[in-house]
Amino acid sequence: MTPADDQLPRIVITSGEPAGIGPELCLTLTGHDFPARLVILGDRNLLAERAQLIGAEPGSLEACRRFEIRHVPLRVSSQPGRLARENAAYVIELLDQALAGCRSGEFAAMVTAPVHKGIINEAGLPFTGHTEYLAEKTGTPRVVMMLAGAGLRVALATTHLPLREVADAIRPDDLTATLRILHRDLVRKFGIAAPRILVAGLNPHAGEGGHLGREEIEVIAPVLEKLRGEGMNLVGPLPADTLFTKHQLQDADAQLAMYHDQGLAVLKYAAFEDGVNITLGLPIVRTSVDHGTALDLAGTGRADSRSLRAAIAAALELCR
């Protein structure tokens, strides 16, 4: 490693659910040049086995001067596509080690490969998602999940909730805090001096003047009016079915959806291969792929690594 390489930012990558595509996505990174030193957390034997399956060189990562594998042992051996509850603790340990390194200053940012929430919960470890887990571990009272790609930055007012619980979760204080975090990080981390944010309504046609729901009238619109008084450029509440049209998106810097699928269905249609998940509000920089574990693709060599590469590029941009 040259002195110049040693000065590059260190980015830690968690390889995610061992039965999914995360390990092999990490193996594809050596074919791409990043202005960073990448530290991949995962079981070294697992990576070697997966490399053989997909026809990669087992030692290709560590042979590259800007890559390092930091060994974290599996609890039990892992087969592609076959989830094992015993490895849930391993997946959590990857996150904990990456977070500890970011908080100590060893790493400039963390990038996460996908995990399987269901198997973690089946193992008796309460886990709603990366976003919520990292918020709890850092003692951050509120974070915002945002996915970016294809010119969109779609943030969420609520994240992983059953649909029947969403309306009750759209509360004035929570929505106010979410918009403040979104606005602040667009300014501080993305360098947008005066971000223009489009805000979706909750109901069809943004409530149709109260005939299809009153959340827009009683909660969303008053919050937007209050924050406009603080100098934020907020547009809405807008009907979600037309918010993502070219006319509305012109000159918009971000979009706030009220619930998960309202915003992310559009984002993933537009940028599934190279979308990036970004957690706003954390004391560290964290980005992730915008897709799941793809158990059916694990071990086939057909998994697309563009989202992981985009997540690394986004992490580098944010930690600058």
List of domains in the chain: 1-140+282-319 (3.40.718.10), 142-272 (3.40.718.10)
Answer whether residue 69 shows pLDDT above 90.
yes
What integer is the mean pLDDT of 244-272?
A: 95
> Is 131 flagged in the annotation as binding?
yes
Instruction: For residues 138 and 142, give the distance between their C-alpha atoms in angstroms, rounded to a whole number.
Output: 10
Q: Name the band, by pLDDT with cuts 50, 70 and 90, for residue 297.
A: very high
Q: Name the band, by pLDDT with cuts 50, 70 and 90, for residue 247.
A: very high
> Is 183 flagged in the annotation as binding?
no
Answer whether residue 71 shows pLDDT above 90.
yes
What integer is the mean pLDDT of 178-200?
A: 97
Instruction: For residues 159 and 132, give the distance between their C-alpha atoms in angstroms, rounded to a whole number.
Output: 9
Q: State how far the alpha carbon of 27 is from the alpha carbons of 47, 178, 287, 310, in Å.
A: 8, 36, 18, 15
Q: Name the band, by pLDDT with cuts 50, 70 and 90, for residue 59.
A: low
Q: State how far the alpha carbon of 79 is from the alpha carbons of 42, 49, 74, in Å.
A: 15, 9, 12
> Is 286 flagged in the annotation as binding?
yes
Answer whether residue 3 shows pLDDT above 60.
no
The chain-wide mean pLDDT, for the chain, equals 94
What integer is the mean pLDDT of 61-78?
A: 86
Q: Hunting for tokens 């974290």 — which residue is that?
A: 72
> Is 130 flagged in the annotation as binding?
yes
pTM value?
0.90
> Is 291 flagged in the annotation as binding?
no
Q: What is the pLDDT of residue 6?
A: 73
Instruction: For residues 278 and 288, give the distance between their C-alpha atoms in angstroms, rounded to a whole number.
Output: 6
Answer whether residue 120 shows pLDDT above 80.
yes
Q: What is the pLDDT of residue 60?
A: 60
CA angle 174–204–273, rounded 5-degree value: 75
Tokens representing residue 219 in the block: 């909660």
Instruction: For residues 266 and 275, give the distance between their C-alpha atoms in angstroms, rounded to a whole number.
Output: 11
Q: Hunting for tokens 């997540």 — which residue is that?
A: 311
Q: What is the pLDDT of residue 318?
A: 93
Tokens representing residue 221 in the block: 């619109």
The residues with which 14 forms a beta bridge, in sequence order, are 41, 112
